[in-house]
Structure 1
Amino acid sequence: MKTSISPADLHTSVISVPPLCRDAQLKPNAAENAKLIKHIEAGGVTTLLYGGNANFYNIALSEYELVLDQLEAAAGPDTLIVPAFGPYFGTAMDQAAILAKKKFPTAMLLPTVAVSSPRGVQAGVMKLVEKYGKPIVLYIKDQGYVTLDVVKSLVAAGAISWIKYAVVRPDPAQDDLLAGLVKTVDPSLIVSGIGEQPAIVHWQKFGVQAFTSGCVCVAPRRSQEMLNAMRAGDFAKADAIRERFNTLETLRNSHGPIPVLHHAVSLAGIAETGPALPLMTNLGDELLDEIQPAAQGLVAWNKA
C-alpha cells in the first residue's frame, strides 16, 4: 500500500469508491474485497476511497481496525487506500485513534448536516487532525455544511489533504459554491465527487481536474481512459466514454447509488459483495434484473 499522498495522486488516477464486500453473516470478507481491489488495479486505477459506497457510515467500531487491516493487506504497493471515518464526532475521534496507529496517509471525514454547523465542523476537523496526526479529506456533500471561510481556514492550517466536492446540482455548470471554492483554495486540492456524469463540466468550467467514481469499480480501464482523454484535452472522446456509463448511472440515480453499485459488482461477476449492511437494504429481484445486464455490459466493454 502506498503510504504517502500528493496532489499528483489525485490527477493521475480516477479515485474509485468501491463497496465493501461482506459474507452472509455481515462480516468483512477479506477474499472478496481483495478480488475487487485487484480488478480495479488491473484497470490502471490506483486510488481507492472507502466511504459511502462501502457504507462506512454504519460500520461498527469493533470491526473498524479489522477492515483497515484487510484493505491494507489487499492493496498493491502503488495503491493508495483512503478509509473514511465518522460522521459523528465521538465515533470519529475513536476511529482517529485507530487510524493514528496505521500507515494510511489520509482519511475522509464523512459529512452530516443533521447535527453540525460550519464552525462546529471546523473545530471538529482540527481536533480530529490532532488525534490522527495527519491531514484529512473534507467531504462537501451538502450546501451549508461548511462556508468558504471555514474551508480557507482549514486548508491554511494544513488540516486538509484534499476536498471531495459532491453537491448535486440540476445543472452542474451552474454552481456558485464550487465557483467560490476554486477561487478560495488551490483547485488542485479539489476533486469532483459525483462520478463521471459532471466530471467534464467540472473540469472545463471550474478547473477541477480529478474525479471520483463508483462505476469505475465495474469498468476501471474505461473510466481511467476517460480521465486520460481529459488530461490530453480530448473531451469528445471523454464524453463518448462518459455516455457508456449512463445506463448504470441512471439506475443508481433512480434506485440509490450505494445499493445499485453494491449489487452491480456481484452481478457483473467481479466479487461477491454479500448482503447489504443495515441501515441499507438489498434491492428487489425486479431491480436486479435491470442492473445485471447494465453491469455485465460494462464488464464486457471493459475487457473489449
Structure 2
Amino acid sequence: MKTTPISVAEFAGSVLAVPPLARRADLSLDAAQNHRLMRHIEAGGLRTLLYGGNANLYHTSVHEYGELLALLADGAAETTRVIPAIGPDFGKMMDQARLLRGSGYRTAMVLPMQGFTTPEGVAEGIARVVDFMGMPVTLYIKSEQTIGIEALGRLVDEGRVLVVKYAIVREDPAVDPFLQQLIARIGTERIVSGMGERPTLVHLARFGLASFTTGSGCIAPVACNALFSALKARDLAAAQPIYDRFLPLETLRDSISLIRVLHDAVSLSGLADMGPHLPLLSASPPGRHAEIQAAAAQLLAYNRSFPSTL
C-alpha cells in the first residue's frame, strides 16, 4: 500500500475503484478473495482503491475495522493508494479514527449520514475527527443539505478536507448550480465525480472534475482506464463507445441496488467470490441474477479486448 504523503494532484491521476468486500459464510473477512479482486483491479491500471459504500462499511463493526485495515494494506501493491471509509455517525468515526491515527493511511472518506445532522454539526464533527486522527478526510456529499458550501470551503482552506466525492443525483447532470458554486469555491481539482460512469461525460469532459469513482470498473478496469484517458483529453468521440459498454451493468445497479448488484456481479463474473452480503443488506433478487451475470460477463469480455496494462 502506498504510504507516502497524499496530495490533491494525485486524485487526477487515477479513477477511484470502489470495490465490494468479500466475506466468508460466517461473515468474517475473506482475505484471499479480497486480494484476488484487488490484483485484478491493479492489473487494469487503477491505482486508487476506495472502500466505502460498495464494501458496505456502513454496517461494518468497529471490532473488525482494525482487521480490515490490515487486510487492505497487506493486499495492495506499493503503488496503490487505499482509502478506507469512516462513519457515518460521529461516534463510529471517532472510534475508527483511533485505529487510523498513526497508521500508513493518509486519508479516510467520511460516509454520508442520513438524518439527525445539521450542516453546522457536520462541519464541527469533521473538524474534530480530523484533528484527532491527524489526517485530512475525503468528504462524500449526496445532498445539498449535508454541509454549506462556505463551511466546506473553510474546511478545505484549513487543510481538513482534501477532496469531495460529489454524488448528488440530477435529472440532467449538466444542470447543477450547486456543483458550479462548489467548483467556484474549491476548484475542480478537489472534486471527484462520485456516481460511477453514468454522469462522467458531463462531469469530466464539461465541468473538468479531477476524476470519478467506479464500481463497474472493478470488473473492467482496463476499459475504465481507457474511458478516463479519453475524458481527461475531452475526446468525447473516443469516450462514447467505451462509456456505452458500461451502461447495461450500471442500469441494473441503478434499477435494483448499486451495492448489491455490484457485489453479486463480481461473484457471478468469476473474478472473485464475494460471499454473502453483510446485513442489513441482502442479495439481489434471484430472478435478476441471470441479467446481472450476463451484463458482468459482457463487460468483462469487453475489458479483455483491450491490451493488457502489465
Compute the TM-score of the two structures, normalised by the length of structure 2: 0.96
**Partner of 2:293 in structure 1?**
292
Do the aligned partners of 2:45 and 2:221 also contact (CA within 8 Å) in 1? yes
How far apart in 1 are the matches of 2:234 and 2:196?
19
Matches within 5 A, 1:116-135: 116-135=117-136
Instruction: Give the match's secondary structure for 1:28.
Output: coil
Matches within 5 A, 1:50-129: 50-129=51-130
Offset from partner CA, 1:243-265 (integer Å, 9 cap, x none): 10010000000001000000000
Do the aligned partners of 1:252 and 1:261 also contact (CA within 8 Å) in 2? yes
How far apart in 2 are the matches of 1:28 and 1:101?
23
- Deviation of residue 101 (structure 1)? 3.3
**Partner of 1:223 in structure 2?**
224
How far apart in 1 are the matches of 2:298 and 2:81?
28
Instruction: Give the match's secondary structure for 2:67.
Output: helix
Do the aligned partners of 1:113 and 1:142 also contact (CA within 8 Å) in 2? no
- Deviation of residue 105 (structure 1)? 0.7
- Deviation of residue 205 (structure 1)? 3.0
- Tell me the amino acid that sits aligned with residue 274 of structure 2: T
How far apart in 1 are the matches of 2:135 and 2:49?
18
Do the aligned partners of 2:144 and 2:168 also contact (CA within 8 Å) in 1? yes
- Deviation of residue 207 (structure 1)? 2.0
Alignment of 1:28 onto 2:33: no
**Partner of 1:255 in structure 2?**
256
- Deviation of residue 297 (structure 1)? 0.8
**Partner of 2:41 in structure 1?**
40
Range with greater deviation from structure 2 (234-243 or 174-183): 234-243
Do the aligned partners of 1:14 and 1:213 also contact (CA within 8 Å) in 2? yes
**Partner of 1:2 in structure 2?**
2
- Deviation of residue 176 (structure 1)? 1.2
- Deviation of residue 230 (structure 1)? 1.6
How far apart in 1 are the matches of 2:176 and 2:233?
25
How far apart in 2 are the matches of 1:94 and 1:125?
14
Alignment of 1:156 onto 2:161: no
- Deviation of residue 10 (structure 1)? 1.1
How far apart in 1 are the matches of 2:148 and 2:8?
23
**Partner of 1:267 in structure 2?**
268
- Deviation of residue 234 (structure 1)? 1.6
- Tell me the amino acid that sits aligned with residue 115 of structure 1: F
Do the aligned partners of 1:53 and 1:214 also contact (CA within 8 Å) in 2? yes
- Tell me the amino acid that sits aligned with residue 65 of structure 1: G
Do the aligned partners of 1:164 and 1:192 also contact (CA within 8 Å) in 2? yes
- Tell me the amino acid that sits aligned with residue 269 of structure 1: G
- Deviation of residue 51 (structure 1)? 0.3
Do the aligned partners of 2:190 and 2:210 also contact (CA within 8 Å) in 1? no
How far apart in 2 are the matches of 1:209 and 1:49?
15
**Partner of 2:199 in structure 1?**
198
How far apart in 1 are the matches of 2:234 and 2:252?
29
How far apart in 2 are the matches of 1:153 and 1:12?
25
How far apart in 2 are the matches of 1:90 and 1:112?
12
Do the aligned partners of 1:50 and 1:83 also contact (CA within 8 Å) in 2? yes
- Deviation of residue 231 (structure 1)? 2.0
Listed as ranges, the gaps of 5+ residues in structure 1 are none
CA-atom RMSD in angstroms: 0.9
Instruction: Give the match's secondary structure for 2:79.
Output: coil
- Deviation of residue 284 (structure 1)? 2.4
What is the identity percentage for the equivalent residue pairs of Structure 1 and Structure 2?
45
Matches within 5 A, 1:132-147: 132-147=133-148
**Partner of 1:237 in structure 2?**
238
Matches within 5 A, 1:176-215: 176-215=177-216
**Partner of 1:170 in structure 2?**
171
Do the aligned partners of 1:109 and 1:138 also contact (CA within 8 Å) in 2? yes
How far apart in 2 are the matches of 1:177 and 1:205?
15
